[in-house]
Homo-oligomer: A and B are copies of this chain.
Amino acid sequence: MAEAPVTFSALDSALLGPLFASEAMRAAFSDQARLAAMIRVEAALARAQARFGLAPQDLAAAIAAIDPDSLDLAALGRDTAVAGVPVIPFVKALRARLPAALEPHLHRGATTQDVADTGLVLQMRAALDLVAADLDAIRASLATLARAHRTTPCVGRTYGQHAAPVTFGYKVAVWWAGIHEVGRRLPDLRGGLSASLGGPVGTLAGLGPDGPAVARAFAEELGLAAAPIAWHARRARIAEIGAFLALLIGALAKMATDVAHLASTEVAELAEPHVPGRGGSSAMPHKRNPVSATVILAAHGAAPGLAATLFAAMAAAHERPAGAWHAEWHALPQLFGLASGALREARALAEGLAVDPQRMRDNLDLTRGLLFADTAAAALAPRLGAAAAHRAVEEAADRVRAEGASLLAVLRERFGDEPALSAAFDLAPAVAAAAAFVDEALACP
Protein backbone atom coordinates (compact mmCIF):
# COMPACT_ATOMS: atom_id res chain seq x y z
CA MET A 1 0.00 0.00 0.00
CA ALA A 2 2.66 2.44 -1.06
CA GLU A 3 0.25 5.25 -1.89
CA ALA A 4 -3.02 5.16 -0.06
CA PRO A 5 -5.93 6.96 -1.66
CA VAL A 6 -6.63 10.49 -0.53
CA THR A 7 -10.09 10.39 0.93
CA PHE A 8 -11.47 13.81 1.72
CA SER A 9 -14.67 12.29 0.36
CA ALA A 10 -15.66 8.96 1.86
CA LEU A 11 -16.72 8.00 -1.66
CA ASP A 12 -13.07 8.04 -2.74
CA SER A 13 -11.79 5.90 0.10
CA ALA A 14 -10.71 2.35 -0.65
CA LEU A 15 -12.03 1.49 2.80
CA LEU A 16 -15.37 3.32 2.81
CA GLY A 17 -16.08 4.04 -0.84
CA PRO A 18 -17.31 0.55 -1.76
CA LEU A 19 -20.08 0.96 0.82
CA PHE A 20 -21.30 4.30 -0.46
CA ALA A 21 -20.81 4.19 -4.24
CA SER A 22 -21.12 1.49 -6.86
CA GLU A 23 -18.03 0.01 -8.44
CA ALA A 24 -19.16 1.07 -11.91
CA MET A 25 -19.65 4.66 -10.82
CA ARG A 26 -16.33 4.65 -9.03
CA ALA A 27 -14.70 3.60 -12.28
CA ALA A 28 -16.57 6.29 -14.21
CA PHE A 29 -15.15 8.99 -11.95
CA SER A 30 -11.57 7.84 -11.65
CA ASP A 31 -8.62 9.88 -12.82
CA GLN A 32 -8.13 7.29 -15.49
CA ALA A 33 -11.65 7.83 -16.81
CA ARG A 34 -11.10 11.56 -16.76
CA LEU A 35 -7.90 11.34 -18.79
CA ALA A 36 -9.46 8.89 -21.20
CA ALA A 37 -12.39 11.25 -21.72
CA MET A 38 -10.08 14.21 -22.31
CA ILE A 39 -8.10 12.24 -24.89
CA ARG A 40 -11.35 11.31 -26.57
CA VAL A 41 -12.31 14.97 -26.68
CA GLU A 42 -9.06 16.02 -28.32
CA ALA A 43 -9.43 13.22 -30.85
CA ALA A 44 -13.00 14.22 -31.68
CA LEU A 45 -11.86 17.80 -32.15
CA ALA A 46 -9.22 16.62 -34.58
CA ARG A 47 -11.74 14.54 -36.50
CA ALA A 48 -14.18 17.45 -36.69
CA GLN A 49 -11.50 19.84 -37.85
CA ALA A 50 -10.20 17.38 -40.40
CA ARG A 51 -13.62 17.45 -42.04
CA PHE A 52 -13.04 21.14 -42.73
CA GLY A 53 -9.38 20.85 -43.64
CA LEU A 54 -8.41 22.48 -40.35
CA ALA A 55 -6.42 19.51 -39.08
CA PRO A 56 -4.40 16.74 -40.68
CA GLN A 57 -6.41 13.61 -41.43
CA ASP A 58 -4.20 11.40 -39.30
CA LEU A 59 -4.12 13.56 -36.21
CA ALA A 60 -7.22 12.06 -34.60
CA ALA A 61 -5.95 8.51 -34.82
CA ALA A 62 -2.61 9.52 -33.38
CA ILE A 63 -4.33 11.16 -30.42
CA ALA A 64 -6.70 8.29 -29.89
CA ALA A 65 -3.76 5.90 -29.78
CA ILE A 66 -2.35 7.55 -26.68
CA ASP A 67 -2.88 5.30 -23.69
CA PRO A 68 -4.17 7.30 -20.70
CA ASP A 69 -2.26 4.93 -18.45
CA SER A 70 0.96 6.01 -20.09
CA LEU A 71 0.61 9.54 -18.78
CA ASP A 72 2.42 10.34 -15.56
CA LEU A 73 -0.48 11.26 -13.32
CA ALA A 74 1.67 12.48 -10.44
CA ALA A 75 3.64 14.77 -12.72
CA LEU A 76 0.46 16.08 -14.30
CA GLY A 77 -0.90 16.78 -10.83
CA ARG A 78 2.20 18.69 -9.84
CA ASP A 79 2.04 20.78 -12.98
CA THR A 80 -1.69 21.40 -12.53
CA ALA A 81 -1.01 22.82 -9.08
CA VAL A 82 1.29 25.34 -10.73
CA ALA A 83 -0.68 26.06 -13.89
CA GLY A 84 -4.02 26.33 -12.17
CA VAL A 85 -5.81 24.06 -14.65
CA PRO A 86 -5.17 20.47 -15.65
CA VAL A 87 -5.50 20.96 -19.37
CA ILE A 88 -2.29 22.89 -19.85
CA PRO A 89 0.01 20.10 -18.61
CA PHE A 90 -2.29 17.55 -20.24
CA VAL A 91 -2.00 19.14 -23.68
CA LYS A 92 1.75 19.46 -23.21
CA ALA A 93 1.98 15.77 -22.34
CA LEU A 94 -0.05 14.86 -25.39
CA ARG A 95 2.08 17.01 -27.67
CA ALA A 96 5.15 15.19 -26.39
CA ARG A 97 3.63 11.92 -27.59
CA LEU A 98 2.67 13.15 -31.07
CA PRO A 99 4.87 13.23 -34.17
CA ALA A 100 6.38 16.67 -34.82
CA ALA A 101 4.23 17.10 -37.93
CA LEU A 102 1.00 16.60 -36.03
CA GLU A 103 1.80 18.20 -32.70
CA PRO A 104 1.13 21.84 -33.73
CA HIS A 105 -2.41 20.95 -34.79
CA LEU A 106 -3.47 19.50 -31.47
CA HIS A 107 -6.09 21.42 -29.43
CA ARG A 108 -6.46 24.01 -32.19
CA GLY A 109 -8.83 26.85 -31.44
CA ALA A 110 -9.93 25.17 -28.23
CA THR A 111 -9.51 26.33 -24.67
CA THR A 112 -8.95 24.50 -21.43
CA GLN A 113 -12.58 24.66 -20.42
CA ASP A 114 -13.72 23.07 -23.68
CA VAL A 115 -11.69 19.97 -22.94
CA ALA A 116 -12.46 19.84 -19.23
CA ASP A 117 -16.19 20.43 -19.65
CA THR A 118 -16.67 18.12 -22.60
CA GLY A 119 -14.64 15.43 -20.88
CA LEU A 120 -16.89 15.78 -17.85
CA VAL A 121 -19.96 15.56 -20.09
CA LEU A 122 -18.72 12.25 -21.45
CA GLN A 123 -18.23 10.97 -17.92
CA MET A 124 -21.70 12.20 -16.99
CA ARG A 125 -23.27 10.48 -19.97
CA ALA A 126 -21.80 7.17 -18.91
CA ALA A 127 -22.87 7.92 -15.36
CA LEU A 128 -26.45 8.74 -16.36
CA ASP A 129 -26.63 5.44 -18.19
CA LEU A 130 -25.67 3.68 -14.98
CA VAL A 131 -28.37 5.67 -13.18
CA ALA A 132 -30.94 4.76 -15.82
CA ALA A 133 -30.24 1.05 -15.55
CA ASP A 134 -30.67 1.05 -11.79
CA LEU A 135 -33.78 3.20 -12.06
CA ASP A 136 -35.39 0.76 -14.48
CA ALA A 137 -34.63 -2.17 -12.23
CA ILE A 138 -35.95 -0.38 -9.16
CA ARG A 139 -39.16 0.64 -10.86
CA ALA A 140 -39.76 -2.85 -12.15
CA SER A 141 -39.18 -4.46 -8.77
CA LEU A 142 -41.24 -1.93 -6.87
CA ALA A 143 -44.12 -2.35 -9.32
CA THR A 144 -44.02 -6.09 -8.74
CA LEU A 145 -43.89 -5.58 -4.99
CA ALA A 146 -46.77 -3.10 -5.05
CA ARG A 147 -48.91 -5.52 -7.03
CA ALA A 148 -48.03 -8.42 -4.76
CA HIS A 149 -49.14 -6.47 -1.70
CA ARG A 150 -51.93 -4.54 -3.38
CA THR A 151 -54.37 -5.71 -0.72
CA THR A 152 -52.07 -6.51 2.20
CA PRO A 153 -53.52 -4.43 5.04
CA CYS A 154 -51.06 -2.20 6.81
CA VAL A 155 -51.14 0.77 9.15
CA GLY A 156 -51.07 4.23 7.61
CA ARG A 157 -49.04 6.60 9.77
CA THR A 158 -49.01 10.37 9.98
CA TYR A 159 -46.74 12.38 12.28
CA GLY A 160 -45.38 9.04 13.45
CA GLN A 161 -48.78 8.03 14.80
CA HIS A 162 -51.17 5.38 13.61
CA ALA A 163 -53.72 7.14 11.41
CA ALA A 164 -55.90 4.84 9.30
CA PRO A 165 -55.44 1.60 7.38
CA VAL A 166 -53.81 1.41 3.98
CA THR A 167 -52.16 -1.51 2.23
CA PHE A 168 -48.48 -2.22 1.99
CA GLY A 169 -48.82 -2.20 -1.79
CA TYR A 170 -50.17 1.32 -1.55
CA LYS A 171 -47.10 2.44 0.34
CA VAL A 172 -44.87 0.83 -2.25
CA ALA A 173 -46.86 2.47 -5.04
CA VAL A 174 -46.18 5.85 -3.45
CA TRP A 175 -42.46 5.03 -3.43
CA TRP A 176 -42.71 3.91 -7.03
CA ALA A 177 -44.51 7.09 -8.08
CA GLY A 178 -42.01 9.29 -6.26
CA ILE A 179 -39.05 7.64 -7.97
CA HIS A 180 -40.81 7.46 -11.30
CA GLU A 181 -41.74 11.14 -11.42
CA VAL A 182 -38.10 12.10 -10.92
CA GLY A 183 -36.74 9.42 -13.22
CA ARG A 184 -38.95 10.55 -16.06
CA ARG A 185 -36.71 13.61 -16.49
CA LEU A 186 -33.61 11.56 -17.18
CA PRO A 187 -33.92 11.07 -20.95
CA ASP A 188 -34.31 14.81 -21.47
CA LEU A 189 -31.29 15.59 -19.35
CA ARG A 190 -29.19 12.97 -21.09
CA GLY A 191 -30.31 14.22 -24.48
CA GLY A 192 -29.43 17.76 -23.54
CA LEU A 193 -25.82 16.93 -22.70
CA SER A 194 -23.87 19.30 -24.92
CA ALA A 195 -20.33 19.41 -26.16
CA SER A 196 -18.40 22.51 -25.22
CA LEU A 197 -16.29 24.10 -27.93
CA GLY A 198 -15.88 27.83 -27.78
CA GLY A 199 -12.20 28.62 -27.64
CA PRO A 200 -10.79 31.39 -25.45
CA VAL A 201 -13.91 33.50 -25.10
CA GLY A 202 -16.57 31.22 -26.53
CA THR A 203 -16.76 32.59 -30.06
CA LEU A 204 -14.39 30.14 -31.75
CA ALA A 205 -12.90 33.09 -33.58
CA GLY A 206 -9.69 31.13 -34.11
CA LEU A 207 -11.47 28.81 -36.52
CA GLY A 208 -12.77 31.58 -38.77
CA PRO A 209 -16.17 31.33 -40.40
CA ASP A 210 -16.19 27.55 -40.00
CA GLY A 211 -16.44 27.94 -36.20
CA PRO A 212 -20.10 27.08 -35.70
CA ALA A 213 -19.93 24.23 -38.19
CA VAL A 214 -16.85 22.76 -36.52
CA ALA A 215 -18.60 23.00 -33.17
CA ARG A 216 -21.53 21.05 -34.58
CA ALA A 217 -19.25 18.45 -36.12
CA PHE A 218 -17.35 18.10 -32.87
CA ALA A 219 -20.58 17.46 -30.97
CA GLU A 220 -21.65 14.97 -33.62
CA GLU A 221 -18.39 13.07 -33.36
CA LEU A 222 -19.07 12.57 -29.68
CA GLY A 223 -22.78 11.89 -30.05
CA LEU A 224 -23.59 14.96 -28.00
CA ALA A 225 -25.90 17.90 -28.58
CA ALA A 226 -24.34 21.07 -29.95
CA ALA A 227 -24.80 24.18 -27.86
CA PRO A 228 -26.20 27.20 -29.72
CA ILE A 229 -23.73 29.44 -27.91
CA ALA A 230 -20.88 28.76 -25.49
CA TRP A 231 -21.80 27.48 -22.06
CA HIS A 232 -18.47 28.32 -20.44
CA ALA A 233 -20.31 30.75 -18.15
CA ARG A 234 -23.86 29.52 -18.62
CA ARG A 235 -24.21 26.70 -16.17
CA ALA A 236 -27.90 25.90 -15.79
CA ARG A 237 -27.49 22.47 -17.34
CA ILE A 238 -24.81 21.51 -14.87
CA ALA A 239 -26.84 22.79 -11.94
CA GLU A 240 -29.95 21.09 -13.29
CA ILE A 241 -28.22 17.71 -13.42
CA GLY A 242 -27.11 18.24 -9.86
CA ALA A 243 -30.67 19.11 -8.88
CA PHE A 244 -31.93 16.01 -10.66
CA LEU A 245 -29.58 13.81 -8.69
CA ALA A 246 -30.59 15.49 -5.43
CA LEU A 247 -34.25 14.94 -6.31
CA LEU A 248 -33.57 11.33 -7.17
CA ILE A 249 -31.73 10.71 -3.93
CA GLY A 250 -34.59 12.48 -2.16
CA ALA A 251 -37.14 10.14 -3.70
CA LEU A 252 -35.05 7.15 -2.64
CA ALA A 253 -34.69 8.64 0.83
CA LYS A 254 -38.46 8.71 1.21
CA MET A 255 -38.45 4.95 0.71
CA ALA A 256 -35.45 4.48 2.99
CA THR A 257 -37.08 6.55 5.74
CA ASP A 258 -40.12 4.32 5.63
CA VAL A 259 -38.07 1.13 5.47
CA ALA A 260 -35.87 2.08 8.41
CA HIS A 261 -38.92 2.74 10.55
CA LEU A 262 -40.86 -0.33 9.41
CA ALA A 263 -37.77 -2.41 10.17
CA SER A 264 -37.37 -0.95 13.66
CA THR A 265 -37.70 -3.38 16.52
CA GLU A 266 -41.13 -2.33 17.76
CA VAL A 267 -42.69 -2.12 14.29
CA ALA A 268 -40.92 -5.06 12.63
CA GLU A 269 -43.12 -5.15 9.54
CA LEU A 270 -40.16 -5.28 7.21
CA ALA A 271 -36.60 -6.48 7.25
CA GLU A 272 -33.85 -5.57 4.87
CA PRO A 273 -32.80 -8.47 2.65
CA HIS A 274 -30.67 -10.87 4.62
CA VAL A 275 -27.03 -10.83 3.58
CA PRO A 276 -24.63 -12.85 5.71
CA GLY A 277 -22.38 -10.53 7.68
CA ARG A 278 -24.43 -7.45 6.93
CA GLY A 279 -25.72 -5.03 9.50
CA GLY A 280 -23.85 -6.51 12.41
CA SER A 281 -22.24 -4.61 15.21
CA SER A 282 -18.71 -4.86 16.50
CA ALA A 283 -20.21 -4.94 19.98
CA MET A 284 -23.71 -6.41 19.73
CA PRO A 285 -24.00 -9.92 18.31
CA HIS A 286 -27.75 -9.69 17.75
CA LYS A 287 -27.87 -6.53 15.67
CA ARG A 288 -29.44 -6.42 12.20
CA ASN A 289 -28.87 -2.82 11.26
CA PRO A 290 -30.64 -1.50 8.17
CA VAL A 291 -27.49 -0.88 6.16
CA SER A 292 -29.22 -0.17 2.86
CA ALA A 293 -31.42 2.51 4.39
CA THR A 294 -28.38 3.94 6.14
CA VAL A 295 -26.43 4.31 2.91
CA ILE A 296 -29.40 6.00 1.22
CA LEU A 297 -30.07 8.35 4.12
CA ALA A 298 -26.41 9.30 4.37
CA ALA A 299 -26.47 10.18 0.66
CA HIS A 300 -29.58 12.22 1.24
CA GLY A 301 -27.93 14.04 4.11
CA ALA A 302 -25.12 15.21 1.85
CA ALA A 303 -26.89 15.81 -1.47
CA PRO A 304 -28.79 19.06 -0.75
CA GLY A 305 -25.62 20.94 0.20
CA LEU A 306 -23.81 19.75 -2.92
CA ALA A 307 -26.72 20.72 -5.15
CA ALA A 308 -26.80 24.13 -3.48
CA THR A 309 -23.14 24.60 -4.41
CA LEU A 310 -24.05 24.15 -8.06
CA PHE A 311 -26.85 26.70 -7.88
CA ALA A 312 -24.48 29.20 -6.28
CA ALA A 313 -21.87 28.57 -8.99
CA MET A 314 -24.22 29.88 -11.68
CA ALA A 315 -23.16 33.48 -11.01
CA ALA A 316 -20.25 33.01 -13.39
CA ALA A 317 -18.55 36.26 -14.34
CA HIS A 318 -18.05 37.15 -17.97
CA GLU A 319 -16.55 34.57 -20.31
CA ARG A 320 -15.05 32.34 -17.57
CA PRO A 321 -15.17 32.92 -13.84
CA ALA A 322 -12.41 32.65 -11.27
CA GLY A 323 -13.71 30.11 -8.80
CA ALA A 324 -17.37 29.52 -9.58
CA TRP A 325 -16.54 27.04 -12.32
CA HIS A 326 -14.02 25.23 -10.16
CA ALA A 327 -16.46 24.97 -7.29
CA GLU A 328 -18.50 22.63 -9.49
CA TRP A 329 -15.61 20.18 -9.43
CA HIS A 330 -15.99 20.00 -5.68
CA ALA A 331 -19.67 19.05 -5.94
CA LEU A 332 -21.06 17.57 -9.14
CA PRO A 333 -19.24 14.22 -9.36
CA GLN A 334 -20.02 13.46 -5.74
CA LEU A 335 -23.71 13.67 -6.48
CA PHE A 336 -23.22 10.89 -9.01
CA GLY A 337 -21.27 8.91 -6.44
CA LEU A 338 -23.92 9.32 -3.76
CA ALA A 339 -26.67 8.50 -6.23
CA SER A 340 -24.92 5.31 -7.32
CA GLY A 341 -24.75 3.95 -3.80
CA ALA A 342 -28.28 4.99 -3.00
CA LEU A 343 -29.58 3.41 -6.20
CA ARG A 344 -27.71 0.16 -5.61
CA GLU A 345 -29.11 -0.14 -2.11
CA ALA A 346 -32.61 0.90 -3.17
CA ARG A 347 -32.48 -1.78 -5.81
CA ALA A 348 -31.48 -4.35 -3.23
CA LEU A 349 -34.42 -3.27 -1.08
CA ALA A 350 -36.87 -3.30 -3.97
CA GLU A 351 -35.76 -6.77 -4.96
CA GLY A 352 -35.38 -8.35 -1.58
CA LEU A 353 -37.35 -6.69 1.21
CA ALA A 354 -38.69 -9.26 3.66
CA VAL A 355 -42.34 -8.37 4.26
CA ASP A 356 -44.26 -9.67 7.27
CA PRO A 357 -48.00 -9.38 6.53
CA GLN A 358 -48.93 -10.98 9.84
CA ARG A 359 -47.04 -8.39 11.78
CA MET A 360 -48.71 -5.69 9.71
CA ARG A 361 -52.04 -7.19 10.68
CA ASP A 362 -51.04 -7.33 14.35
CA ASN A 363 -49.96 -3.71 14.34
CA LEU A 364 -53.31 -2.70 12.86
CA ASP A 365 -54.92 -4.09 16.00
CA LEU A 366 -52.53 -2.41 18.42
CA THR A 367 -54.77 0.55 19.08
CA ARG A 368 -57.98 -1.37 19.52
CA GLY A 369 -59.88 0.26 16.71
CA LEU A 370 -58.58 3.80 16.88
CA LEU A 371 -57.45 3.44 13.30
CA PHE A 372 -61.10 3.53 12.36
CA ALA A 373 -61.77 6.75 14.22
CA ASP A 374 -62.38 8.73 11.05
CA THR A 375 -64.77 6.19 9.55
CA ALA A 376 -66.53 5.88 12.90
CA ALA A 377 -66.96 9.64 13.03
CA ALA A 378 -68.27 9.60 9.48
CA ALA A 379 -70.75 6.89 10.45
CA LEU A 380 -72.01 9.02 13.32
CA ALA A 381 -72.05 12.27 11.37
CA PRO A 382 -75.48 11.85 9.78
CA ARG A 383 -76.92 11.48 13.24
CA LEU A 384 -74.81 13.97 15.24
CA GLY A 385 -73.46 16.42 12.71
CA ALA A 386 -69.86 16.28 11.63
CA ALA A 387 -68.40 18.38 14.40
CA ALA A 388 -70.26 16.65 17.20
CA ALA A 389 -69.40 13.26 15.74
CA HIS A 390 -65.73 14.23 15.57
CA ARG A 391 -65.91 15.33 19.20
CA ALA A 392 -67.71 12.20 20.33
CA VAL A 393 -65.08 9.98 18.76
CA GLU A 394 -62.31 12.09 20.27
CA GLU A 395 -63.80 11.48 23.70
CA ALA A 396 -64.25 7.79 23.01
CA ALA A 397 -60.62 7.61 21.87
CA ASP A 398 -59.55 9.06 25.20
CA ARG A 399 -61.42 6.26 26.97
CA VAL A 400 -59.85 3.66 24.70
CA ARG A 401 -56.43 4.92 25.62
CA ALA A 402 -57.24 5.20 29.30
CA GLU A 403 -59.25 2.04 29.84
CA GLY A 404 -58.03 -0.43 27.27
CA ALA A 405 -61.45 -1.13 25.79
CA SER A 406 -61.93 -1.15 22.04
CA LEU A 407 -63.24 1.91 20.25
CA LEU A 408 -66.16 -0.05 18.88
CA ALA A 409 -67.16 -1.19 22.37
CA VAL A 410 -66.98 2.32 23.77
CA LEU A 411 -69.03 3.76 20.94
CA ARG A 412 -71.60 0.98 21.07
CA GLU A 413 -72.00 1.58 24.76
CA ARG A 414 -72.91 5.15 24.07
CA PHE A 415 -74.67 5.06 20.71
CA GLY A 416 -76.09 1.55 20.52
CA ASP A 417 -75.33 -1.26 18.15
CA GLU A 418 -76.00 0.25 14.75
CA PRO A 419 -74.87 -1.59 11.64
CA ALA A 420 -73.38 1.63 10.25
CA LEU A 421 -71.12 1.79 13.28
CA SER A 422 -69.92 -1.77 12.99
CA ALA A 423 -69.38 -1.31 9.29
CA ALA A 424 -67.07 1.58 10.07
CA PHE A 425 -64.64 -0.94 11.57
CA ASP A 426 -64.43 -3.03 8.44
CA LEU A 427 -61.00 -3.10 6.82
CA ALA A 428 -62.35 -3.92 3.39
CA PRO A 429 -63.23 -0.40 2.21
CA ALA A 430 -59.84 0.95 3.27
CA VAL A 431 -58.12 -1.91 1.47
CA ALA A 432 -60.18 -1.41 -1.67
CA ALA A 433 -59.50 2.31 -1.69
CA ALA A 434 -55.78 1.75 -1.32
CA ALA A 435 -55.73 -0.93 -4.00
CA ALA A 436 -57.49 1.37 -6.44
CA PHE A 437 -54.69 3.90 -6.12
CA VAL A 438 -52.04 1.22 -6.60
CA ASP A 439 -53.59 0.60 -9.98
CA GLU A 440 -53.88 4.29 -10.79
CA ALA A 441 -50.26 4.94 -9.93
CA LEU A 442 -48.75 2.00 -11.76
CA ALA A 443 -50.74 2.87 -14.88
CA CYS A 444 -48.86 6.15 -15.01
CA PRO A 445 -46.83 6.52 -18.21
Contacts and interface: CB of A to CB of B under 8 A. Distances in A.
Nearest to A253: B315
Contact of A287 (B106, B158, B236, B246): B158
Contact of A437 (B212, B240, B254): B212
In terms of DSSP, what is the predominant structure of the interface of chain A?
helix
A320 interface: yes
For A165, A260, A305, which residue has the most chain B Cβ atoms within 10 angstroms? A305
Given A265-B366, A285-B394, 11 more contacts: A7-B29, A8-B29, A82-B275, A84-B291, A100-B385, A104-B387, A158-B287, A173-B229, A178-B235, A205-B433, A208-B429
Contacts of A63: none
A370 B254 CA distance: 29
28 contacts: A1-B31, A6-B21, A17-B77, A19-B80, A19-B84, A83-B279, A111-B283, A156-B318, A158-B320, A171-B318, A174-B230, A203-B434, A203-B436, A206-B378, A228-B437, A229-B441, A240-B243, A243-B311, A250-B314, A258-B318, A261-B318, A266-B366, A280-B394, A285-B377, A286-B397, A299-B330, A300-B315, A304-B308
A243 B327 CA distance: 18
Nearest to A170: B203
A271 B375 CA distance: 25
Interface stretch (A129-137, A334-342, A412-420): A334-342
Contact of A289 (B91, B158, B318): B158
Contacts of A202: 156, 166, 170, 174, 437
Nearest to A92: B387
A346 interface: no
Q: How many copies does the complex hold?
A: 4
A249 to B, nearest CB: 8
Interface in A284-333: 284-291, 293-309, 311-327, 329-331, 333
A166 B212 CA distance: 15
A241 B1 CA distance: 31
A317 B9 contact: no
For A5, A246, A256, which residue has the most chain B Cβ atoms within 10 angstroms? A5
